[in-house]
Amino acid sequence: MSDAPDTVASVPVRSQENEHPKAPGNAGQRPALSGRERPERIPLSLGEQRLWLINRFDPYSPVHNVPISVELMGDLDGASLTAAVQDLIERHEVLRTIFPASADGPYQTIVPASEITVDMTPADLDFGDAEDPAGAILAFAREGFDLTSEVPFRARLFRMADSEYILTLVVHHIAADRASLRHLLRDLFQAYESRCSGAAPDWSALPLQYADYALWQRELLGEESDPESVIAREIEFWRAELDGLPDVLNLPLDRPRPAFQSLCGKAVDFYLGPQVHSSLKSIAERYSVPAFTVLESAFAVLLFKLCGSDDIVLGTPVDKRADDSLDPIVGMFGNTLALRHRVIESERFCDLLTRSRERSVEAFSHAETPFERLVEVLGIPRSPSFHPVFQVMISLHDEEQQMTSIAGLDVAIGGLEAKAADCDLELVLTESFGHDGEPAGITGSMVYAVELFDEATIIGIVQRFQRLLTAIAAHPELPVSDIDVLTDRERGLLLPHRKSRSSLDRLVGYAASHGTALLPGTEGGYAELAGRVGQVASRATGSTLGAGSDLALALLTYAAGKMDVTAAQRLADTVLPTLDKGAQNRPPRDTRELSA
């Protein structure tokens, strides 16, 4: 997967890569990028080649479909829309390219625009039908592409009512990355306006096509056997960067991993308000790091607390253009980077930011070699059960204008629900800004694999991420160990019952050498753990204590701090009824809830 835009089809305008170096090596030593004499069989770019291989395993999988939905309200000129879509296909060769197989490997064949049929006859959506009429749009968006015989682009117009339409464009990821979506819509709207005026679109000619880039890329990267080539140097960088990496991150799954990923996903959406957004931007400015670094570092800290691992790797998509002349070109320029974080519990969060920034600069400076090629060359173990190198992704985008007017039409650019989950978790963040550029909030979407997680678990993870960001926004100098992600219920109901600090100190001294006795095994459950707590507390104090005693309660709190927070929540749910019952027999005392 990796760089697939998760099939969420709003139109992003920025990738976190833009805040880091743009191209590897010495730009003066790179071959000039221009139109090239094309061989009889044009090779695929390395990114295209990877997606082509994936497509051959399952040609009709929608995992790498990128759908865009555009709501059109007003007096639509169907003939002009048909002509505009035809103009779009003619302008961008990659939209009318097929990728046949041969004994020497796949190659590109560009189909003449005159051979592509465009039919914009509206398909009526029946709102009187018992089934959701949106199902017809989603079904169209999920139709796969056989890239060896079909062009990677299709369009269909749906009519909801008089003067209300939804135009759905579907592009296979082999022909477009996230940044390309913006170019597609810009060119389409410009062509429609021109056609409504009875003229062909008056746009400047493209300096080159994606096929020219594919040829240039191979010149740029060179041969892997040449130690001085770009690709050889990048391979060596990533060999060192990913050395000793754990195969899989121990996420708090609700179910065991299946033998094969189904790639079925859902999403939980959330929002961070302007105050937190503004504070996070201020932190980024204070410590001279991009906003993305603040957010990815915070996410790494959350995963550290969730998973109990200090070695956290996050994947991030990079919509990279290696040269300015490629900016208006539609194509698969994207790649995926693995950003590795070594989380130190005693370190201040602001110091983690500095280290994260340094490693990110290095990573983004070695971003030309496709991720899948690195996995292959470095011999990284693969499993059909989980994504290699990382199982969690993060991306940050700026909010795009979603409403506009074109030739008498009101246009709303929307998205289709994410249904693909190549990773276990993918955090998609979008920044909004006011008219004066002031932070206006961050919307987030946590895409998750439904075969691994329940929605309630993801909601809990999202709430903890919100709480963690709020804590960081207020105190970025806090040590990682002091950033609290437990819920108010966990902290407010467990911690106030501690009898004294000294009893906890006695407990910690004992549990430091016997802490493994507290942790739930693969066969035992949290009820069993609750039952064992009284026994462990008794050994710590030499007296007979029940699971509801104060010291046993402190022991539970300590255990909760040593396990992942989802397990702590389940533990709390198991013992709270006992604790609440025991609290009825306790004398009243002053307590307060602790919240992050």
Confirm whether 408 is domain-assigned: no
Confirm whether 589 is domain-assigned: no
93/101 Cα distance (integer angstroms)? 19
Answer with the residue of higher pLDDT: 40 or 18. Answer: 40
Which residues, including other chains, have CB under 8 Å from residue 42's CB and lie 6 or more apart?
107, 108, 110, 211, 214, 215
CATH number for 386: 3.30.559.30
Burial state string for 413-442 with b = 16 or more CB within 10 A and e = fewer than 16:
beebbbbbbbbbbbbbbbbeeeeeeebbbb
Q: What is the mean pLDDT of residues 405-428?
A: 79
State the pLDDT at residue 593: 28
Same domain, 184 and 269: no
Give the number of other CB atoms < 10 A from CB of residue 126: 9
pLDDT in tens, 42-54: 999 988 988 898 8
pLDDT in tens, 349-407: 999 999 999 999 999 999 988 898 899 899 998 888 899 999 999 999 887 666 688 88
Whether residue 420 contacts residue 6, with contact meaning beta carbons closer than 8 Å, is answered with yes
Q: What is the mean pLDDT of residues 218-224?
A: 89
560/306 Cα distance (integer angstroms)? 11
pLDDT in tens, 87-107: 999 999 999 999 999 998 999
Least confidently predicted of 251-260, 334-343, 403-412: 403-412
Same domain, 190 and 262: no
Retrieve residue 85's tokens. 């879509």
Residue 579 pLDDT more than 50? no
Same domain, 92 and 168: yes
Q: What is the mean pLDDT of residues 171-180?
A: 90
Whether residue 396 contacts residue 16, with contact meaning beta carbons closer than 8 Å, is answered with yes
Same domain, 112 and 164: yes
Same domain, 352 and 495: no
Same domain, 372 and 230: yes
Strands 425-433, 392-398: pairing is parallel
- Nearest one of 465, 112, 536, 140 to 297, comparing CA atoms: 465
Q: What is the count of structural domains for the chain?
A: 3
Retrieve residue 497's tokens. 């019952």
Least confidently predicted of 3-7, 185-189, 471-475: 3-7
Q: Which amino acid is at 92?
A: H
DSSP helix/strand/coil, 317: strand
Residue 158, φ and ψ in degrees, nearest 5: -110, 140
The pTM assigned to this predicted structure is 0.74
Residue 68, φ and ψ in degrees, nearest 5: -125, 130
Element (H, E) at 267: strand 265-272
Same domain, 94 and 230: no
Same domain, 392 and 502: no
State the pLDDT at residue 322: 73
Whether residue 459 contacts residue 43, with contact meaning beta carbons closer than 8 Å, is answered with no
State the pLDDT at residue 415: 59
User: What percentage of residues in the chain have a pLDDT greater than 70?
Assistant: 74
Strands 409-414, 65-74: pairing is antiparallel
Looking at every residue in the chain, the average pLDDT score rounds to 79
Same domain, 277 and 376: yes
Confirm whether 577 is domain-assigned: yes
Q: Which amino acid is at 400?
A: E
Same domain, 379 and 230: yes
pLDDT in tens, 291-310: 999 999 999 999 999 988 99
Enclosing domain of residue 505: 488-583
State the pLDDT at residue 32: 75
Same domain, 187 and 327: no
Whether residue 4 contacts residue 63, with contact meaning beta carbons closer than 8 Å, is answered with yes
Cα 448–Cα 339–Cα 318 angle in degrees, nearest 5: 75
State the pLDDT at residue 594: 29
Same domain, 149 and 230: no
CA-based end-to-end distance of the chain? 35
Confirm whether 340 is domain-assigned: yes
Whether residue 394 contacts residue 3, with contact meaning beta carbons closer than 8 Å, is answered with no
Residue 582: pLDDT band by 50, 70, 90 thresholds? very low
Confirm whether 174 is domain-assigned: yes
